Chain A
Amino acid sequence: GAGVSQTPSNKVTEKGKYVELRCDPISGHTALYWYRQSLGQGPEFLIYFQGTGAADDSGLPNDRFFAVRPEGSVSTLKIQRTERGDSAVYLCASSLGGGSTEAFFGQGTRLTVV
């Protein structure tokens, strides 16, 4: 596709449930990022992939959060035992070369935990 695609655009889930958020990066982009953004705040770094491997997962808040990118393209962010505090917009971005280059963002997934 022409840009970064995130699905679903909105997700409402009950507290305690498991959710998966998907990101399709721009073809050929080796770097992929996940961010979380709460209202009125800047994007909070979660995890950065270079190819298939997680080069930096220091932003994942706890072990309920996990992300994969098995073939170096599509990535899935997985959240177990969701809590109301997980409610936020989850943003995915991809770039050609990590932090030294322009990142292209998807429109985000708005997660609401009720």
Chain B
Amino acid sequence: SQQGEEDPQALSIQEGENATMNCSYKTSINNLQWYRQNSGRGLVHLILIRSNEREKHSGRLRVTLDTSKKSSSLLITASRAADTASYFCATDDGGYNKLIFGAGTRLAVHP
């Protein structure tokens, strides 16, 4: 079963625009992570936000977490063609154990 659900499922934007992806989850968590995947193979960790944090930045990435709504958002500012990939949120199950992924958002950034 999947814990997180991202929306939109697909997003198409022009270079230089901002991209926002949202994630909702079902159970209490300790942390939420965002990952990126190119070409359907290995995933790369982008950022981790803890349940007691509300916002976190890393370069052009900004992540927010609202535990009352069980939701998170990932903002990529000033997007580049190289940002084209699938983005997934992942949560633990509240027990610091398994990491569970959502279905992902496919982002296409056009030059």
Which residues in A have some Cβ–Cβ distance to B below 8 Å?
A: 4, 33, 35, 37, 39, 41-45, 48, 55-56, 59, 89, 91, 93, 95, 97-108
Contacts and interface: CB of A to CB of B under 8 A. Distances in A.
Q: In this complex, which of B91, B96, B102 has the most chain A Cβ atoms within 10 angstroms of its Cβ?
A: B96
A91 B43 CA distance: 9
B31 interface: yes
Contact of B103 (A42, A89, A98): A42
Q: Which 3 A-B pairs have the closest CB atoms?
A: A99-B92, A42-B101, A105-B42
B9 to A, nearest CB: 9
Contacts of A103: 33, 35, 43, 45, 90, 99
A99 B93 contact: yes
A42 B97 contact: no
B98 interface: yes
Contact of A33 (B93, B99, B102): B99
A97 B95 CA distance: 12
Q: In this complex, which of B93, B99, B100 has the most chain A Cβ atoms within 10 angstroms of its Cβ?
A: B99
A99 B67 CA distance: 17
Given A99-B92, A102-B33, A42 B45 contact: no
